[in-house]
Copies of this chain bind each other. A is one copy, B any other.
Amino acid sequence: MNFDAITIRDIARELHLSVSTVSKALRDSYEISEKTKKLVTEFAQKHNYRPNPMAQSLKKGHSKSIGIVVSSIDNQFFSQVINGMESEAYSQGYNVIITQSHESYELEVQNVGHLIHRAIDGLLISIATETADVEHLRRLQQQGLPIVFFDRVSNEIDTHKVIVDNLGGAYQATMHLLASGYKNIAHITSSVTSSVTNQRLAGYVDALVESGIEVNEQYIKYCLHGGLNLDELEQAIDELMQTEPRPDAILTASDRITTSTMTLLHKKNIRIPQDVALVGFSNTVLADVLNPSLTSVHQPAFEIGRKATEMLLSIINSKRPITEFENVVLPTELFIRSSSASKLK
């Protein structure tokens, strides 16, 4: 702890100045002469003075750190998002404190509590699939905590949000499958309560309806744990494969579900795309080298994180309370690869 334990007091003593003079000199106050400022800053520089952040935090009432809640850090999409957050926060002198909800409501509440306890200046959160009630967040917001939602947002709380064009992404992916000759397209998604799920589902439905294809409810499977629970996903796939007519393509709605589905199809010796085509939301850098290479809806994850953090910091640094909130929607990108190779010749 007490490394280069030089404090403002030490500087004051050495330079025969008062503590407040030193403090003001370092903060470049107009009250202090240029000469003294120079003296102090040079001395501080030379002795590698660093203000004690805890004393500053205590005094100023903020901690220069922001809290992050994601479902799991061990997930290409989220780790890329966090990468963007860390980058932006760091460049503005903030630290990030990362916590994982593992899609559990209980853990989410607990983590947020812990973060508040650590006196974060703001919160970046993608709510857990399990979470249906966001009262705990609303209360915090009303008490003045700046919050920015990303990815999985809540409609019930009014604040800045950063999402991607989920509807468009799913629509485009579904249209691509249809154009490639697939007729019976299934959709595996996560919890019904999630904003992301609903938007992607809507894109899927829109594409079907627009193409004059009836939506078959049996083709839509919900996985409450977002693919974290393999059994749940396996059951969904098994059910799909027994549905008549059997689906000839699957659209998966999240990174984890996509990769897990791929793994399970392999395990079951179901060939992609001959037996069933696969298109999924995924940010894996390995899409190209998968077997088969994976047609994926890619999200600008880094940019999501960067933008969300930028917006959060703008709330934090704003003098007046914010009442107008922005809803940033970033585009997705469809990468067409072999897992959805055309059936037509």
**Residue in B3, B72, B97, B121 whose beta carbon sits within 8 Å of that of A140 in the complex:** B3
Given the known inter-chain contacts A98-B96, A292-B291, please indicate yes or no for A83 contacting B74, CB distance below 8 A: yes
A289 to chain B, nearest CB (A): 5
**Residue in B90, B97, B99, B263 whose beta carbon sits within 8 Å of that of A99 in the complex:** B90
Is A119 at the interface (CB under 8 A from chain B)?
yes
**Residue in B72, B117, B288 whose beta carbon sits within 8 Å of that of A50 in the complex:** B117
Whether B73 and A1, one on each chain, are in contact in the complex, defined by CB atoms closer than 8 angstroms, is: no
Is A290 at the interface (CB under 8 A from chain B)?
yes
Is A61 at the interface (CB under 8 A from chain B)?
yes
A100 to B80, CA, bound (A): 12
Q: Interface majority SS on A: helix, strand, loop or mixed?
A: mixed
**Residue in B52, B118, B289 whose beta carbon sits within 8 Å of that of A262 in the complex:** B289
Q: What chain B residues lie within 8 Å of A86 (beta carbons)?
A: 73, 98-100
Is A242 at the interface (CB under 8 A from chain B)?
no
Q: What chain B residues lie within 8 Å of A54 (beta carbons)?
A: 54, 57-58, 63, 119
Q: What chain B residues lie within 8 Å of A62 (beta carbons)?
A: 1
Whether B288 and A289, one on each chain, are in contact in the complex, defined by CB atoms closer than 8 angstroms, is: no
Interface residues in A89-125 by Cβ distance below 8 A to B read 90, 95-100, 114, 116-119, 121
A55 to B60, CA, bound (A): 12
A62 to B54, CA, bound (A): 9
Interface residues in A256-283 by Cβ distance below 8 A to B read 259, 262-263, 266
**Residue in B53, B58, B79, B117 whose beta carbon sits within 8 Å of that of A73 in the complex:** B79
**Residue in B53, B266, B291 whose beta carbon sits within 8 Å of that of A118 in the complex:** B53
Whether A58 and B61, one on each chain, are in contact in the complex, defined by CB atoms closer than 8 angstroms, is: no
Quick one: closest B residue to A139, CB to CB? B3
Is A342 at the interface (CB under 8 A from chain B)?
no
Is A344 at the interface (CB under 8 A from chain B)?
no
Is A82 at the interface (CB under 8 A from chain B)?
yes
Interface residues in A136-153 by Cβ distance below 8 A to B read 140, 143-145
| Further 18 A-B residue pairs, CB within 8 A, beyond A2-B61, A55-B58, A73-B86 | A1-B144, A3-B144, A3-B145, A50-B116, A52-B58, A54-B54, A54-B58, A65-B118, A73-B79, A83-B100, A90-B99, A95-B97, A96-B97, A96-B98, A98-B98, A263-B286, A289-B291, A290-B291
- Pairs of residues from A and B, 9 with the lowest C-beta to C-beta distance, nearest first: A291-B291, A54-B57, A3-B143, A54-B58, A74-B79, A79-B79, A74-B83, A262-B289, A1-B61
20 CB-based A-B contacts, threshold 8 Å: A1-B144, A54-B58, A58-B58, A65-B97, A65-B118, A72-B83, A74-B80, A79-B79, A86-B98, A86-B100, A90-B114, A95-B97, A95-B114, A259-B289, A266-B288, A266-B289, A284-B286, A286-B286, A291-B291, A291-B292
